[in-house]
Amino acid sequence: QVQLVESGGGLVQAGGSLRLSCAASGSIFSLNTMAWFRQAPGKQRELVAGTSGGRTNYAESVKGRFTISTDNVKNTLYLQMNSLKPEDTAVYYCAARPVPWGGYVYWGQGTQVTVSS
């Protein structure tokens, strides 16, 4: 069974930075087919950043500010968040999928990110 454990969330002022980590364990997964999602109060869950086949993609709202990366030795997925805005406030989730064309089926517990104005 695949398990994803997140850390790094917290409270930060607008303009600040945070780095989220997602430690992956188990089998039937790949760090190359993983993503970060977020869900803010009253809003739908949205894909923030993803990686697949060596490529990365970002939501328009975070392009130029967020960076997704992997460390295969540590088996960890990261999300570096810079120039944070109050609208970035949300619960952030790490997710994985067995194949690039499939759905995300493995999820972390989520970590709260709060950006004050």
The per-residue pLDDT for range 56-111, each reduced to its tens digit, is 999 999 999 999 999 988 889 999 999 999 999 999 999 998 887 889 999 999 99
For residue 87, the Cα-to-chain-centroid distance in whole angstroms is 16
Contact 52, 32 (CB under 8 A): yes
Grouping H, G, I as helix, E, B as strand and the rest as coil, residue 88 is: helix
User: What's the whole-number average pLDDT of the chain?
Assistant: 93
Mean pLDDT of 9-21: 98
pLDDT at 73: 86
pLDDT at 53 over 80: no
